[in-house]
Amino acid sequence: MILHLTFDILSVLTSGLSRTLIGRRTGVAVATERAGRGSLVRPASIVDGVHERIYERLMSLEIPPGARLPIDGLARELDVSQTPVREALARLEREGLVRKAHLIGYSAAPQLTHKQFDDLYKFRLMVEPESARQACLNLTPELLHRLELSAADMEKGEQPVDRNSRYSRFARADAQFHEEILKIADNETVRQALTDQHVHLHIFRLMFHSRVTQEALEEHERLLEAFRAGDADAAHAAMHDHIARSRDRLAAAFE
C-alpha cells in the first residue's frame, strides 16, 4: 500500500499541471490530458486519476462500506474505458479498501468492527512507540529533515478543491509520516506487519465525519520536538500519547 502511495505522491510532484489536476475530477483530468497531449495519453496516469477518484469516494463514505462497485458503471460515470477502472480496483484491493468475490465482482470493504478497531489500536500501541524510540536513536540530520518534510506535507500543499480530497490527502500524508518513522526504526518485520494492516486507510475511513486533523498535527509536532532533541524516551511517550488520543477520538464512531 505505502509503496503505491509514495509512488502517487512522487508522480504528482514530478509531473506537470495536467497531472496535478488528476484526483480532483477524473473526467476533467482525463479530458485535460487529451486536450494537452493529443494522442499521447499515458494509460498509467489515467489509472492514477481513476484510482484517486474512487479512493476519495471510499474514504469519504460517499461509497458506503459493502456497496457493489460494478466496473461498467464506474467506467461510464468516470468517462473512461473499463481497463483503467479494473486496474484501479485491483490497486484498491491491494490497499484493503475493496474486495473481490468470485462471480460477484468488486465491492467496498466492510467497515471495521469495534473488536477489529480495538485490536488494531492495541497492536499500534505495542509497536509504534517502541519504533519511535528506535527511530530517534537511528536519526541523522538528513533523516530528520525528511521527517520534517513529511510532517509539513500534512499542513501545506495546494488548496484541495473539496472536503473529500482534503481529507483523503490528509489520511495519505499521515500514513506517509508514520511509515517514514518505521523506516528509520529499521525493523522490516514490524514495518511490514503494520503496513499489511492498512491501518491509516481503515481508520480514517471509519471516522470521516469527526474532527481529526488539527489535534493530530499538534501531536506530530510534539513527536518531532522529541526527535529534534534526540530524546528517545520522549519520542516513545509522544508516540504513545498520539496513538492513545487517536484511539479515543475515534472510539466515538462506535457509540
Q: What residue ranges bind Zn ion (CB under 5 A)?
A: 174
Looking at the Cβ atoms of 56 and 174, the one nearer to Zn ion is 174
Residue number with CB closer to Zn ion (21 or 175): 175
Identity of the residue, 52 or 179, whose beta carbon is nearer to Zn ion in the bound complex: 179
Q: Which lies closer to Zn ion via its Cβ, residue 95 or residue 174?
A: 174
| Measured distance between the N- and C-terminal CA atoms of the chain, rounded to whole angstroms | 30
Position closest to Zn ion via CB: 174
Cα gap 79→232, rounded to integer Å? 51
Task: State in angstroms the smallest separation of the CB of 249 from Zn ion.
Answer: 11
DSSP result, 20-46: HHTTT-HHHHHHHHHHHHTT---HHHH
Reduced to 3 states (helix: H, G, I; strand: E, B; else coil), residue 98 is: strand
Min. distance of Cβ 246 from Zn ion in angstroms? 7
Query: CA 104 → CA 70, 100, 115, distances in Å?
Result: 9, 8, 27
- Indicate the SS3 state at residue 206: helix
| Residue 79, helix vs strand vs coil | coil
CA distance 187 to 181: 11
> Quick check: 94 and 7 in contact, CB under 8 A?
no
Residue type, 134: Q
Query: For residues 106 and 121, which CB has a smaller minimum distance to Zn ion in the complex?
Result: 121
The alpha carbon dihedral of 113, 114, 116, 117 has a sign of: positive
Q: Based on CB atoms, which residue is closest to Zn ion, 48 or 174? A: 174
Judge whether 16 and 39 are in contact, CB under 8 Å: no
Q: How far apart are CB 178 and Zn ion at their closest, in Å?
A: 6
